[in-house]
Amino acid sequence: MTAKQEEDRLIECVAKENYDNFCHAIMMTEAQRKDKQLVIFGAGILGMQCYYTFRELKVDNIVFCDNNSAKWSQKIAGCRILSPEEIAGKMEQYYIFLAIENYQQCCIQIEEMGYRPGEHYVNLTNCSERKLLNDFYNDCAAETLILGDCTVSAVSVADDEKKSLADLLYQKDSVKILALNGLYMRAYYHLFLLSLEKMPGLRKVAILLGLDIFAEKYHLLSQNQHLSMMSELLQRSEIFAEESQAFGEEIKKRAQEKKIFQQTAPNRDSGMSQMKIEQGRRLHMRLNYLYDLKEDTESIWYLKKILKVCEERQIENFFLFMPINYEMGEHYFGDVFYQKYNAIRGILTRLITEGGGQMVDLSYLLGSDDFISLRSTNEGIREAGRKKLAAQIIANLTE
């Protein structure tokens, strides 16, 4: 890939399970999509991840479709964005790959347009949630549980060898890993409690923390609720029934919330100027890593609850602060970056130590070259960086 193509890439990373699912979908739909134009329904992050995977597989003749009228007639990554009306009833012309988070209503919409599952379209979404559910019920003999977010499951779209951090850390019948984008402390707490039921030999738990999850309102983002997956797990829970039921009701409310400010990475937009991109990077880092951490918050409450359960069950616990692109932080904010970020680290370190936990700080482990930092500051870690990080985590958990 040329330097110019590297600059033009609008998505830096993809969950490994999504990448594998995209590849499988292309292989399994070869006959159905023959001689048709491919439509990626969803011109958002997941759709872009799908696009770059297809491009890597030498699959072209792609257009996008989206329900957002503001995107119609525009282009993303050089591909047109169509309205649903433009593809309705044209099953002989188009084959659809649905790649959107809120897929349930879109499946109904696509079928009302005349398309049938498998024959005319395939749903690529909810793959990460299905993987976590499968992983939850497997490897129940493992003594170590690792919980994490998208940093644990993601690979770079530019990697030659696509092994995620989870792939590098996993050990059959020894280490179980549950990772999913957008998880926060209350979700980690309930995944931990539920895992106690399935892992009678659990002796050690490690939570890989991006410090952005302690930012104000992070836990309220509707996209972080994973309603169907968490509901299924909570409904099957045999312990902590009252607490689990309360959490189930809460995530239903949060999943419907649309007004919370989205503190995510800068918008992926091929039309953004370099100045706008830089402004987006600064805002993203400031909101997610240079905030004032308050101790009387939901995130801190559930951090303490995890520590308490570990103490009661005599489970060794580790909280690992995941790497951040600190060189970019210094470039944007100078000493202010270190002052603000270190203040967050200091508070969390004190709370974890007071609760009898072990803190492993990997914040400054990786340099800028280990990150894919076109649009974000921490999610995209290159292959060499993931190997370095995995080696350090293994060393800390086994020493």
Report the distance separating Cα 252 and Cα 234, nearest Å: 12
Q: Which domains does the chain have, with CATH numbers?
A: 10-125 (3.40.50.720), 128-398 (3.40.50.1110)
Task: State the Cα–Cα distance between residues 345 and 321, nearest whole angstrom.
Answer: 8
Q: Residue 388 carries which side chain, given as an amino acid letter?
A: K
One digit per residue, the tens of pLDDT, for the chain of length 399 reads: 333 344 456 677 888 999 999 999 999 999 999 999 999 999 988 898 899 999 989 998 999 999 999 999 888 888 999 999 999 999 999 999 999 877 888 999 999 999 999 999 999 987 888 899 999 999 899 999 999 998 899 888 778 889 999 999 999 999 999 999 889 999 999 999 999 989 999 999 999 999 999 998 889 888 888 888 998 888 877 666 678 888 989 999 988 876 655 544 454 555 667 787 778 788 888 888 999 999 999 999 999 999 999 999 999 999 999 999 999 899 999 999 999 999 999 999 999 999 999 999 999 999 988 987 555 555 578 899 999 999 999 999 987
Q: Are 233 and 133 in contact (CB under 8 A)?
A: yes
E strand or H helix that includes residue 144: strand 144-148
Tokens 């990150």 locate to 371
Residues 237-242: contacts with CB within 8 Å, 24+ apart?
A: 237/193, 237/194, 237/197, 238/197, 239/193, 239/196, 239/197, 240/193
Say if CB 344 and CB 380 are below 8 A apart: no
Interatomic CA distance for residues 199 and 201, integer angstroms: 5
Question: Residue 81's beta-bridge partner residues?
Answer: 64
Distances (CA, A) of 259 to 107, 254, 256: 25, 10, 9
R_g of the chain, CA atoms, integer Å? 21
Q: How far is CA 118 from CA 33, 107, 343, in A?
A: 10, 12, 52
